[in-house]
Homo-oligomer: A and B are copies of this chain.
Amino acid sequence: MDYLKIFSPATVANVSCGFDSLGFAVDAVGDEMTFTKTAEKGVKITNITGADLTYNVDENAASAVVKKILKEAHANFGIELTIHKGFSPGSGLGSSAASAAGAAFGVNQFLEKKYTALELTKFAMFGEEVACGSAIADNVAAAIFGGFVLVRSYNPLEIIKLPVPSALRVVAIHPQIEVKTKDAREVLPKEIALKDAVTQWANVGGLISGLYTDNYDLISNSLVDIIVEPYRKKLIPFFDAVKTSAINAGALGAGISGSGPTIFALCKGDEIAENVHQAIEESYKNTGIHFEMFISKVNSEGMKIIK
Contact = CB atoms under 8 A, between A and B. Distances in A.
25 contacts: A21-B201, A150-B205, A152-B202, A152-B205, A152-B206, A152-B209, A152-B218, A152-B221, A152-B222, A153-B206, A158-B218, A189-B194, A190-B194, A191-B191, A191-B193, A191-B194, A192-B192, A192-B194, A197-B197, A197-B227, A200-B201, A201-B204, A204-B204, A209-B212, A212-B212
Given A188-B194, A192-B192, A202 B162 contact: no
Contacts of A152: 202-203, 205-206, 209, 218, 221-222
Interface string A11-45: 00000011111100000000000000000000000
B190 A160 contact: no
Given A160-B218, A197-B227, 4 more contacts: A21-B198, A21-B202, A197-B200, A209-B212
A151 interface: yes
Interface in A176-208: 188-194, 197-206, 208
Interface string A217-256: 0100110000100000000000000000000000000000
A160 to B, nearest CB: 5
Contacts of A206: 150, 152-153, 158, 160
B198 A160 contact: no
Contacts of A209: 150, 152, 160, 162, 208, 212
Given A21-B201, A212-B212, A227 B194 contact: yes
A50 to B, nearest CB: 33
The 7 closest A-B pairs by CB, nearest first: A201-B201, A152-B206, A197-B197, A212-B212, A21-B202, A191-B191, A201-B204
Given A162-B209, A197-B227, A209-B162, A151 B191 contact: no
A198 B20 contact: yes
A194 B152 CA distance: 16
Quick one: which of A22, A194, A221, A227 has the most chain B CB within 10 A?
A: A194
B189 A190 contact: no
Contacts of A221: 152-153, 158
A44 to B, nearest CB: 38
Contacts of A190: 193-194
Contacts of A204: 201-202, 204-205
Contacts of A151: 202
Interface in A143-193: 150-153, 158, 160, 162, 188-193
